[in-house]
C-alpha cells in the first residue's frame, strides 16, 4: 500500500488538450489529500515534456495537435489511452519521498492492479531501454511493459503545492478500482470542488492555451 487514503476521479468531461493539462495542474492546487484523475480523450492529441524543444519533437506527433505538459518526459500520443494524473499535496507524507521512489511506488502499484486482468505485466529492466524522444518508443527504467512492449510511462513535477504525476496507460478494460486498491489502504470517489473549474479556465487562458506556452522552448 502506498497511500493511507486515495480519492479517485473518473473524469468523463470532454476537454481540449489545453483543458486536460490545465485540469491536472488545477487538481494539484486544490487537492487536500491524494487524488487520482483518470480520463480519456475526445479527439487525438500529442503532449510533450516541459523541457523539450518544440522543433525537435514535432515530427513525432504524427500531425496531431501538440500540447506542452507541466511535467517532463517524451512525446505521448493520446486518443486510445487512459491518461492518469495523480495529485499528491504537500500535507501527505508521500510528497516527502524522492521522485524516483514515488515513481517506482506508483508503477509497482499499477503493475499489481493490471496483473489482475492482464498477463505478463512488469516493470522495465535496464536492458529494455533505448533512446528516443517518442515516449512509447523509448522505455526507461520503471516504465511498464507487457511482453516487451511499453504500455505505461509517466513523469513528475514538484511545486509548492505538492507532487503531480502524469501517466499514459495503453491497455483496454483497465480495472480502476483495482488501481485504487493497489495504491491505497482505502479509496473513495472524488468530486471536484466548484471553484476548481474556474482555475482550469484561468490556466487555459493564461498558460496552456497560449502560443508562448507551446513555444516555450
Report which DSSP code applies to 3. E
What pLDDT score was predicted for residue 167? Answer: 97
What pLDDT score was predicted for residue 10? Answer: 96
pLDDT digits 0-9 by tens, 171-191: 878 889 999 999 999 999 999
For residues 123 and 106, give the distance between their C-alpha atoms in angstroms, rounded to a whole number: 11
What pLDDT score was predicted for residue 182? Answer: 95
pLDDT digits 0-9 by tens, 63-99: 899 999 999 999 999 999 999 999 999 999 999 999 9
What pLDDT score was predicted for residue 138? Answer: 63
23, 38, 129, 135: which is the annotated catalytic residue?
135
* 44 CB-contact burial (10 Å; exposed 0-12 / middle 13-18 / buried 19+): middle
For residues 89 and 61, give the distance between their C-alpha atoms in angstroms, rounded to a whole number: 32
User: Distance of CA 84 to CAs 8, 14, 16, 211, 212, Å?
Assistant: 10, 15, 16, 25, 25
Q: Of 185, 144, 190, nearest to 23 (Cα)?
A: 190
What string of H, E and C letters represents the secondary structure of 149-190?
Answer: EEEEEEEEEEECCEEEEEEEECCCCCCHHHHHHHHEEEEEEC
CATH architecture of 3-214: 2-Layer Sandwich (3.30)
For residues 37 and 27, give the distance between their C-alpha atoms in angstroms, rounded to a whole number: 8
In the chain, what percentage of residues exceed pLDDT 90? 79
For residues 41 and 185, give the distance between their C-alpha atoms in angstroms, rounded to a whole number: 29
Q: How is the chain split into domains, by residue range?
A: 3-214
135 is catalytic: yes
What pLDDT score was predicted for residue 209? Answer: 96
Q: Which residues of the chain have pLDDT under 50?
A: 133-136
Amino acid at each position: 500500500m502506498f497511500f493511507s487514503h486515495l480519492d479517485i476521479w473518473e473524469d468523463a468531461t470532454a476537454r481540449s488538450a489545453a483543458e486536460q493539462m490545465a485540469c491536472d495542474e488545477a487538481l494539484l492546487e486544490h487537492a487536500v489529500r491524494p487524488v487520482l484523475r483518470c480520463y480519456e480523450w475526445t479527439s487525438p492529441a500529442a503532449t510533450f515534456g516541459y523541457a523539450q524543444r518544440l522543433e525537435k519533437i514535432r515530427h513525432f506527433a504524427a500531425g496531431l495537435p501538440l500540447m506542452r505538459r507541466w511535467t517532463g518526459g517524451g512525446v505521448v500520443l493520446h486518443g486510445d489511452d487512459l491518461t492518469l494524473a495523480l495529485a499528491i499535496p504537500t500535507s501527505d507524507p508521500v510528497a516527502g519521498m524522492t521522485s524516483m521512489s514515488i515513481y517506482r511506488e506508483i508503477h509497482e502499484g499499477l503493475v499489481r492492479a493490471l496483473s489482475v486482468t492482464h498477463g505478463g505485466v512488469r516493470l522495465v529492466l535496464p536492458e529494455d531501454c533505448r533512446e528516443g524522444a517518442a515516449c512509447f518508443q523509448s522505455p526507461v527504467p520503471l516504465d511498464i511493459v507487457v511482453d516487451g512492449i511499453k504500455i505505461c510511462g509517466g513523469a513528475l513535477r514538484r511545486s509548492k503545492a505538492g507532487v503531480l504525476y502524469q501517466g499514459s496507460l495503453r491497455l483496454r478494460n483497465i480495472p480502476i478500482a483495482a488501481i485504487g486498491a493497489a495504491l491505497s489502504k482505502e479509496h473513495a470517489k472524488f468530486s471536484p470542488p466548484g471553484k476548481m473549474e474556474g482555475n482550469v479556465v484561468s490556466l487555459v487562458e493564461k498558460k496552456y492555451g497560449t502560443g508562448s506556452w507551446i513555444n516555450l522552448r
